[in-house]
Amino acid sequence: MAERHRLYAEMNRSGPVHRVMLPHGEVAWLVTGYEQARAALVEPRLAKKEPPFAEDLDPALRSAINRSMLNVDMPEHGRLRRLVAAAFTRRRVDRLAPRIQQLTDELLEPLAGRVAATEVDLIAEFAYPLPIAVICELLGVPENKRENFRKWSWADVNASVIGLEAYAEAATAFVDYLHDLIAAKREQPADDLTSALVAARDGSDQLSEDELTSMMYLLLVAGHETTVNLIANAVDVLLAQDGAWAHLASAPERVPAAVEELLRFNGPVQTSTLRVAVETFEFAGTTIDAGDTVLVGLLAANRDPGRPGAQVLDLSRSPNQHIAFGHGIHLCLGAPLARLEGQIALTSLLARFPDLRPAEDEILADPGLLINALRALPVTTRPT
Ligand code: HEM
């Protein structure tokens, strides 16, 4: 991960906008400067763009996953976002705190003995299962179906690495499952978001069936793939900095500010999703031609060396105007939930394991372009 940050800093030192080759061979502009990244995310001449391989997908599958708010512009965007926005407000989300704490405790309790005796992969044992449990409970996905989600959503965010065939196979299985879930909720509604969306779909002409599956697909992928890495990257950064873990363990009231800084310093999302220029225009000294693809480097922008102190970890930074959750109309809908999960997860880990340490010297980063993830996070409290 250090290598990734070094490269982004080097790019920023030579300018805010760069020509890059994406993994599937497409050439795109990558915006790495902080001010320019914020400007690009609200630039009306940049519209949302489907991934390049979308047109090679079976049309039914393409329509069942690509009709979400994240894939469309105004006015469709507003209509789709409004349908779920109320479920993700800070007030609504704060009510989930006791349940998130309970899920956290259930996962951490059995780790206590093991982490003292041997090394434990904190991603597999904690950072992954917690967010998946939370988003699945919100959407009413039964427990026995959750295991597949890791495979499916990993395939989604790593589509450019694994190739079209593997991506389409995972997406098809995911959509088949969503169709079953929607049918089950239609038959027997429950107190969950899926049932509420099915009622919205059936009760008015606000939502098509494909928009419904796309919405659920987005919520399930976005709702956990990122939060897993918020928790894992936060722990990784804190354990790597001399004394940072112990300092925070002794001052847990500083966790909320620390979570913001960890989101800024080593957030879970490297780049925005794809945008396309709808006309030719000048942007930050570069001519962007109509039809050009543009990506916003959120990780790079957050540590833009052109901004004083941006390369330094400051756990009490305030104000902290990072763009780890994006900016503009597509600003992360789940940010209040992600923050709450991150704060509860970190506070609980610090309280239970004040002497946690990394169990291996080097931890490998996942190769994808979209997500900033570690492959595993082996930790222990065993004295060396
Ligand atoms: C959008 C980051 C957690 C749901 C986004 C975007 C970013 C982001 C950067 C905008 C992408 C773009 O403009 O191309 C994150 C991070 C998270 C996180 C860093 C965790 C730390 C969540 C959670 C949910 C969620 C828990 C829960 C449901 C969404 C949705 C959108 C979105 C629905 C699309 C919003 C729109 O298009 O209006 N997220 N996210 N995210 N995120 Fe998150």
∠ CA 302-43-300, nearest 5°, is 15
- pLDDT on residue 213: 96
| Digit-coded pLDDT (tens) for 162-183 | 888 899 999 999 999 999 999 9
CA-nearest residue, atom 17 of ligand 1: 226
Of ligand 1's listed atoms, the one at least distance from the Cα of 341 is: 26
Q: What is the mean pLDDT of the chain?
A: 93
Instruction: Choose the residue to mutate in 128, 332, 346, 371 for probing ligand 1, maximizing ligand atoms within 8 Å of C-beta.
Output: 332
Which residues, other chains included, contact 188 with Cβ-Cβ below 8 Å and sequence gap of 6+?
none
Instruction: Provide the Cα torsion 116, 236, 345, 316; round to 10°.
Output: 120
Atom of ligand 1 nearest to the CA of 218: 33
Q: At what angle do helices 129-139 and 193-203 cross, to 10 degrees?
A: 40
Radius of gyration of the chain (CA): 21
3-state helix, strand, coil in the chain (%, to 5): 60, 10, 30
Residue whose CA lies nearest to ligand 1 atom number 2:
325
State residue 56's pLDDT score: 87
8: pLDDT strictly greater than 90: yes
Is 80 exceeded by the pLDDT of residue 205? no
Is ipTM over 0.85? yes
CA distance 267 to 287: 29
Ligand 1, CB within 6 Å, residue ranges: 69-70, 81, 218-219, 222-223, 226-227, 230, 267-269, 272-273, 298, 324-326, 329-330, 332-334, 337-338
Q: Which residues contact 106 (CB under 8 A, 6 or more apart)?
A: none
* Proportion of the chain above pLDDT 70, given as a percent: 99
Q: pLDDT tens digits, residue range 344-360?
A: 999 999 999 999 999 98
Average pLDDT of span 46-54: 86
Q: What is the pLDDT of residue 150?
A: 81
pLDDT tens, residue by residue, 103-152: 999 999 999 999 999 999 999 999 999 999 999 999 999 888 887 888 88
Higher pLDDT, 262 or 224: 262
The string of pLDDT tens digits covering residues 244-287 is 999 999 999 999 999 999 999 999 999 999 999 999 999 999 99
Please give the model's pTM, rounded to 2 decimal places.
0.96
| Ligand 1 centroid distance, CA of 384 (Å) | 40
Is the pLDDT at 160 greater than 80? The verdict is no
Beta-bridge mates of residue 17: 31
Q: So what's the pLDDT on residue 202?
A: 78
Cα 342 to middle of ligand 1, angstroms: 14
Q: What pLDDT score does 204 carry?
A: 74
Say how many Å lie between the CA of residue 309 and the centre of ligand 1: 26
